Copies of this chain bind each other. A is one copy, B any other.
Amino acid sequence: MESTTRPLDPDTINRMVLDGFPGSRNRCVEVGSDYAVAHLIASDADLRPGGYISGPTQFSLADAVLWYLVFGAIGRMEPMALTSELSIRFLRPAIGTELWARAALDIAGRRNVVGSVRVWTVDETKPCSVAQGTYALPHQPTPMP
């Protein structure tokens, strides 16, 4: 079917997220079968004294980019893919107003997708946090409009 052979692209994902999850503040900027990249512009509420982006904001972007990775890895958007577990390590202050995250696929199984994430503000080689986590897939694909 066309819908399964047409590769996913960030615009399609961002439209679905905007429709279904209006509270989401990040966007997918790249997605492939084994990686994804997401981006977030920090709001005042994300900033801590000293001008660094809070840990929970970093977590939210790590969680989102893993979700996009799931879409890329299974070849379809699956809003009912849910985080099972996620561990995050904070490495250095996230000085800046923009946040980027890249997820790399570790495995896409029938029940779970596991990936590793790097989060940074300006220089990808100087990440402010790294994470690893698992998304659980639903037994049946969720019907999409």
A interface list, Cβ under 8 A from B: 20-21, 23, 44-49, 54-56, 59-60, 63, 79, 82-92, 106-107, 109, 111-112, 114, 116, 118, 127, 130-132, 134, 136
Known: A49-B20, A59-B56. A114 touches B91 (CB 8 A): yes
14 A–B pairs (Cβ distance < 8 Å), ordered by A: A23-B46, A49-B79, A55-B82, A56-B56, A56-B59, A82-B90, A83-B90, A84-B90, A84-B112, A86-B87, A87-B87, A89-B114, A111-B136, A116-B130
Residues of B within 8 A of A44 (CB): 23
Known: A84-B90, A85-B90, A106-B118. 11 other contacts (CB 8 A): A20-B49, A56-B60, A82-B90, A83-B90, A85-B89, A86-B88, A89-B106, A89-B132, A89-B134, A91-B109, A106-B127
Residues of B within 8 A of A111 (CB): 111, 136
Report the nearest B residue to A130, measured CB to CB. B106
B91 and A116 contact, CB distance less than 8 A = no
Residues of B within 8 A of A136 (CB): 111
Known: A89-B132, A132-B132, A134-B89. A23 touches B45 (CB 8 A): yes
Report the nearest B residue to A67, measured CB to CB. B55
B90 and A116 contact, CB distance less than 8 A = no
Closest Cβ of chain B: how far from A33's Cβ, in Å? 13
